[in-house]
Amino acid sequence: MVSVKELRRADPALGFYGPGTMMWRINREAVLLGAGPAALLLQVAHPLVAEGVAQHSSFEADPFRRLSGTIRTTMDLVFGDGRAAERAVKRLNSVHARVRGDVDDIEARRVAWAYRALDPELLLWVQATLIVTSVRAFQRWVGPLSAGEREQFWQEARAVGVRLGIPLSLSPAGWPALEAYWARMLADDGPVYVTPTARRLSRLIVRPPLPFVPGPLVDLAALPGLALLPPRLRAEFGIPWDARRAALARLETYALSCWTRVVPTPLRSMPQALAADRRVRSGGRSAPRSTSASENRKDQPEPTSGAALPG
């Protein structure tokens, strides 16, 4: 298990994680991309995160650029070699350092009148949304995880979270403590609730404008992921949910779990995970990285809620 007593540095060949880690095992599953909308909705359900996204991100103008940048940075953090992982940390911290401002949404001022993306409390909430939704989606769509495996996953996340601005003194010490934190944040009187700003952002998350894909098909495909949301937040976002949609979500969830049971792991893995596997098999050597992808300015992550935090 990853020690959380040291400031984690990326291994030159393996990066922050590697074979045998829960980060590699869980994040390699491409089907977990379906949990992305739920994680994003949970993030912007925090009023201050929604303010940062609305004021500093091009998400509303170009959601696909933001999504591709987030996925690229996440994959570099989880599966990249040492150079890629360290660059991803520096990019995220640099971009987030510029994201701060006054709260415009009147309803969000119940929490605070100003925000900054490097606020450790906000970073912890973003991290928690990614970890909890990943675990719940994995258990529904891929297979069960033991208490020890969930604990290992969270400890791996905590260790690297320090590099992203989340001190261990703030981070829940274990998986049971994370679940207790989750319950407090989502309590009816907690700090997570949907503001008009978040509701406006949610429209592009729930039904992104996919070219050549009819809206009803997008809605159908989104159901298993939306089923991960707490009912209160679905209602506050104005996401339609009834017995028919719940039944369809259960049917699709069953179909996904059947698919992952019969399809071999390599065929359902993210390409970055397969590249990391090849790197390990070759003795830890990695091919030189082109600056035209990760290092170009146009590929740097948008100033966002921090949705690229995997750990």
What are the domain boundaries of the chain? 22-296
Token digits of residue 140: 């529904």
If you write DSSP's letter for every residue of 179-234 in order, what string do you get?
Answer: HHHHHHHHSTTSS----HHHHHHHHHHHS---TT--HHHHHHHHHHHHTTS-HHHH
Q: Are 74 and 67 in contact (CB under 8 A)?
A: no
Token digits of residue 92: 């995220």
Nearest to 53 by CA among 156, 257, 199: 199
Residue 4: predicted pLDDT: 45
Residues facing 15 on adjacent strands: 11
Q: How do the pLDDT tens digits run along the chain, 311 residues long?
A: 444 445 678 898 899 999 999 999 999 999 999 999 999 999 999 999 999 999 988 777 777 677 777 888 999 999 999 999 999 999 999 989 999 999 999 999 999 999 999 999 999 999 999 999 999 999 999 999 999 999 999 999 999 999 999 999 999 999 999 999 999 999 999 999 999 999 999 999 998 877 788 888 989 999 999 999 999 999 999 999 999 999 999 999 999 999 999 999 999 999 999 999 999 998 765 443 333 333 333 444 444 444 445 44
Q: How far apart are CA 224 and CA 35, in angstroms?
A: 8
Residue 68: predicted pLDDT: 75
Residue 45: predicted pLDDT: 98
- Would you say the pTM of this structure is higher than 0.85? yes
Q: How far apart are CA 153 and CA 132, in angstroms?
A: 10
Q: Are 50 and 105 in contact (CB under 8 A)?
A: yes
Q: What letters, b where the CB count within 10 A reaches 16 and e where it falls short, cover 293-306?
A: ebeeeebbbbbbbb
Residue 309: predicted pLDDT: 52
Nearest to 31 by CA among 126, 128, 129, 134: 134
Residue 217: predicted pLDDT: 92
Residue 58: predicted pLDDT: 73
